[in-house]
Amino acid sequence: MSKTSKKTISSLKDHFLVAMPSLHDDNFSGSVVYICEHNVEGAMGLIINQQLDIPAKAVFDRLELKYNRQEGDELIFDGGPIQQDRGFILHSASEQKWESTIHIGSDISLTTSKDILGDIALGTGPKDALITLGYSSWGGGQLEEELKDNSWLVIPADSAVLFNTDCARRAQAAALSIGLNLDMLALESGHA
């Protein structure tokens, strides 16, 4: 195969990582992580299928934001074990502008500034949004080692899985997007 026809993924940005059954880490067991950045220095992502028992109104109240009841009842997500006092908002791409937004995929953005929370609280923010506390991070080469150990299944991200799929079904929906049924994966491989 020629070098030009061989496809390699140099960055997993805008991909899902689905934890394999063999991953025995309390922070990531059963999780789906949306990768926001991945380069030689490491990777950063947000867990998208672990909700906290904290409604958004708790965050809105703490920041003294006015909010609509419906927006205040949405549960926020545990984005990962690092800086759990810091908020990250994954949202659908929007023509609205906020102080610190980066576009990750064609239809997915990440914002970390308070101004987007004010808009979400009033129902005038992006069409779809997940509010997370904390993030997940890997040092340079660490994620690649975990991939070699078959700890993660890598799947191209799909905004429908991220925003339009029930939280508890996101891992299965992500796997099904590439034709894989997670229930068919064995926890341990057999030896003949």
Span 142-173, pLDDT tens digits? 999 999 999 999 999 999 999 999 999 999 99
* Percent of the chain residues past pLDDT 70, beyond the cut: 92
pTM listed for this prediction: 0.89
Instruction: Give the pLDDT confidence score for residue 26 in this predicted structure.
Output: 86
Joined tokens for residue 157: 């991200």
Residue 4 has pLDDT above 60, yes or no: no
pLDDT on residue 34:
98
Helices (H) and strands (E) in the chain, counts: 6, 10
pLDDT-wise least confident of 23-37, 80-94, 98-112, 172-186:
172-186
Interatomic CA distance for residues 161 and 12, integer angstroms: 17
Residue 49 β-bridge partners: none
Q: What is the pLDDT of residue 184?
A: 80
Tell me the two tokens of residue 6.
């061989």
Q: How far apart are CA 132 and CA 14, in angstroms?
A: 17
Per-residue b/e over 85-94, b at no fewer than 16 CB within 10 Å?
Answer: eebbbbbebb
When pLDDT is averaged across residues 133-145 and rounded to a whole number, the result is 95
Q: Return mean pLDDT, the chain.
A: 89
- pLDDT score of 115 more than 60: yes
Question: Which class is 15-182 in CATH?
Answer: alpha beta
Tokens of 114: 């308070």
Q: What is the mean pLDDT of residues 50-71?
A: 92
User: Minimal CA–CA distance to 146: which of 6, 18, 15?
Assistant: 18
Quick check: 22 pLDDT over 90?
no
Neighbours of 152 (CB within 10 A): 22
